[in-house]
Amino acid sequence: MNYINEIAKLIKIQGVEPCDIESSLTTAADSSFGDYSLPCFKFSKALRQAPNAIAARIADGIESAKPDFLESVEAVGGYVNFSLDKKLFSTLTLGEIFQRAGEYGNSDEGAGKTVCIDFSSINIAKPFHIGHLGTTVIGAALYRIFKKLGYNAVGINHLGDFGTQFGKLIVAYKLWGDADDIKKRGLKALVDIYVRFHKEEEQDAGLTARAREWFLKIERGQEEAVALFNFFKEVTMKEVEQTYRRLGVTFDSYAGESFYNDKMQPVIDELKQKDLLKLSDGASIVDLSRFDMPPCLILRSDGASLYATRDLATIFYRKKTYDFDKCLYVVAYQQNLHFKQVFKVIELLGYEYHKDLIHVAYGMVSLEDGAMATRKGNMVYLSDVLDRAAQKSLAIIREKSPDLKDAEAVAEAVGVSAVIFSALINNRIKDNVFTYEKILNFDGETGPYLQYTCARCHSIIEKALGAFAADGSQAALYPSLAEALKSADADALTAPDAYEVIKLLGKYPDVIRAAKENYEPSLVTRHLIDIAQSYNKFYFDNRILDERSGVKNARVAITAAVKEVLKNGFEVLGLRVVERM
C-alpha cells in the first residue's frame, strides 16, 4: 500500500489540488508524533484560517470515519499527525516482502517510457582508472533503478575514440611500440608510449604535426591508420571488459564519438538554416551571451569538429533511435558549463525535448596523495584498486574467520563491493577521497558492514528454518515464513525496536522512487545502512531463536525480511551478497 497516497485521498481542502496535498505529506520526523504528518501552514492563506484550525478540522473529519490502516489521527499545532495500525502495517509489509521477494519495490510506473543513460564513457587506449569509478557505478545504479520501476533503460558507453590523441599514439607506436609487449601488458604498455610521446613532444614540435597527419588518415579511412586504431581499441576493450565484469556492469550500446563522425553535418546545416551559426575569429559558434554563457564552439577555424558538435549529433541520433523520454549524462561536475551550452543550443533549435536532457553531475574521486593525469603517467588503474581491495579483504577475513570456506571468492565479493559502495554512499556531487582503510571497515557505514549484516541474517534464518533449497535460493522458505507470520506474536511485531525496523523496510519502495526522481543512488545506500543499523540494534537487544514460538516466528520473519530487502538493494547498487563471512 502507498500510505501517503491513501492518506492524501482522505484529506479534502477546498481549492487545493489532491496532488498538492500528497506532495505536502511527509514522514514524521519524530516517531512519537506518528508515522506521517501534514503541515497546514501553506494552506492558511488560501483558506484564510490559522494552521492549527485547519489541522483540527482535517483531523476531526478523518477520525470520525477512520479507515482500518490508521490507528489515530491527531492535530498538534499546525500539523495533522497520522499513526498507522502497527500490527496491520507490520503483517502487510512483511507479507508483501515475502510475496514479491526480488520484485519488492518494483513498479510499472515507467511502462512505455525510455530513458537513455550515458555513463562510464572510458577512453580508448587510456587507462580505466579510479576517476571513472563514479560515473560507472552511479550510472549503473541509475540504470537498474529505472529498470526496477518499469522503464526501458538504455545504457550507453559513449567511448572516447576520436581525436588527435590517436594520431599521437600511432606516432608513439611506430617510434617506440612493440606489438608483442602491448598484447602482453595491454593498456599499461600503451600508456607508457603515450607518456613518452608527451615528454618527447616538449623537445620536438614536429611530433605534434605528425600526430595530426595520422589522425587525419584515421578520419579519411587510410588502411594502416585504421588498422592501428582498431588494434588499440581491441586491446582496450578486452581489458576494460574484465573490469566491467567484476563490477557487474553491462551496456546496451558502445557507440562512441567516432560513430557520430558522419552524423555531424546535418546538425551544422540546421544551425546555419536557423541562423544560429556565427563566425568568430574564423571559428563557427552559437552565441549564448544573452544567457550569460560563453559561446558554444561548433567548428574550429580549420573546420575541425569539437565535443559540442559530436554531442549535438549524439542527441539527435538518440532521440530519433530511442525516442527517449529522458536522456541522462552521468558526467563529472567539471562539465556543467559544457552541458548547459549544448542543451541550450537544442532549445534554440526549437526542440521541446531539451527539457528531457539531464546532466547528472558527480564529484571527483581522488587518492590521498592527490590528483591523476594520463600524460604524466600517474594514473591508478581501477583493476589495480579492485585487486588490492580484494587482497586486503582476504587478509581481514582470514584473521576474523580462519576456517571460512571459499575465502578468496568471499574476499573478491567483499573487496569489489566495498569499492562500489564507496562511490555510492555520499551525495553524488560530493568529492571523495578514497582510502582502503575507510572502505573496508566492517563496523562503519560501508559495504562490508552491510554484507556482514546480510550474512548474520542468513545464519539466523538457516538455524531457525533448516537448510535452504537445493538451488541455494531462499524462495522455497517464503511459504514457511508467510505461514509463520500468521502465528507471529503481535506484541513482538509492534515492539518499538521491531517496528522501527519494519517501518524502514516498508519505506524501501518510496526510497527507490525518490532515488529515481533525484537521480541519487546514495538515497538507497543510506537507507540500507539505516536498515542494517536498526536491525543490528534489534538483534543485540532481543533473543530470536530461543524464544517461545509466537515471538520466535515474529523475529525470524523480521530477520528474513531484512535479508531480502538488503539483497534487493544490493542488486540495485551492484553489490554482491555474501552469506558467510
State percent of the chain over pLDDT 70: 94
The neighbour count for residue 336, using CB atoms within 10 Å, is 12
DSSP string, 203-247: T-THHHHHHHHHHHHHHTT-HHHHHHHHHHHHHHHHHHHHHHHHH
* Integer Cα distance of 450 and 389 in angstroms: 16
The answer to whether residues 39 and 16 touch, using CB atoms and an 8 Å cutoff, is no
**Catalytic site residue 132?**
yes
* Integer Cα distance of 1 and 93 in angstroms: 9
pLDDT category of residue 374 using cuts at 50, 70 and 90: very low
* Integer Cα distance of 142 and 329 in angstroms: 11
Q: Give every CB contact of residue 81 below 8 A, 6+ residues apart in sequence.
A: 28, 33, 34, 36, 37, 73, 74, 75
pLDDT tens by residue, 217-244: 888 889 999 999 999 999 999 999 999 9
* CA distance readout (Å), 136 to 5, 121, 231, 439: 34, 8, 24, 18
With vertex at residue 430, the alpha carbon angle to CA 125 and CA 337, rounded to the nearest 5 degrees, is 65
DSSP type of residue 547: S
CATH 3.30.1360.70, the chain: domain bounds: 3-84
Is 29 in a helix, a strand, or coil? coil
Best CA proximity match to 158, nearest among 71, 55, 257, 234: 257
CA atoms within a 13 Å half-sphere pointing along the CA-CB vector of 114:
12
CATH 1.10.730.10, the chain: domain bounds: 404-573
Specify the range with the lowest mean pLDDT, choosing from 297-301, 364-368, 382-386, 510-514: 364-368
pLDDT tens by residue, 39-94: 999 888 888 899 999 999 999 999 878 899 999 999 998 999 999 999 999 999 99
Residue 119 pLDDT > 90 = yes
Residue 469 pLDDT > 50 = no
Say which of 86, 132, 148, 552 is annotated catalytic: 132
CATH of domain 404-573: 1.10.730.10
Q: How far is CA 477 from the centre of its chain?
A: 31
Residue 472 pLDDT > 50 = no
Residue 475 pLDDT > 70 = no
Residue type, 346: I
- If one compares 442 and 490, the residue with the highest pLDDT of the two is 490
pLDDT category of residue 287 using cuts at 50, 70 and 90: very high
pLDDT category of residue 478 using cuts at 50, 70 and 90: low
pLDDT category of residue 435 using cuts at 50, 70 and 90: confident
Q: Which residues pair with 156 in a beta bridge?
A: 118, 253
Would you tell me which CATH number, out of the four given (3.30.1330.100, 3.30.1360.70, 3.50.50.60, 3.40.50.1100), belongs to the domain 3-84?
Answer: 3.30.1360.70
Residue 503 pLDDT > 80 = yes
pLDDT at residue number 12: 85
Average pLDDT over residues 515-537: 97
**Catalytic site residue 527?**
no
Say which of 42, 87, 129, 430 is annotated catalytic: 129
pLDDT at residue number 353: 98
Q: Give every CB contact of residue 257 below 8 A, 6+ residues apart in sequence.
A: 158, 159, 160, 161, 162, 163, 310
**Catalytic site residue 129?**
yes
Residue 324 cell numbers, joined: 527517449
pLDDT tens by residue, 288-344: 999 999 999 999 888 878 899 999 999 999 999 999 999 999 999 999 999 999 999
Q: Give every CB contact of residue 240 below 8 A, 6+ residues apart in sequence.
A: 122, 128
pTM for the whole structure? 0.91
pLDDT at residue number 368: 66
pLDDT at residue number 375: 46
Say which of 126, 148, 326, 563 is annotated catalytic: 126
- If one compares 373 and 185, the residue with the highest pLDDT of the two is 185
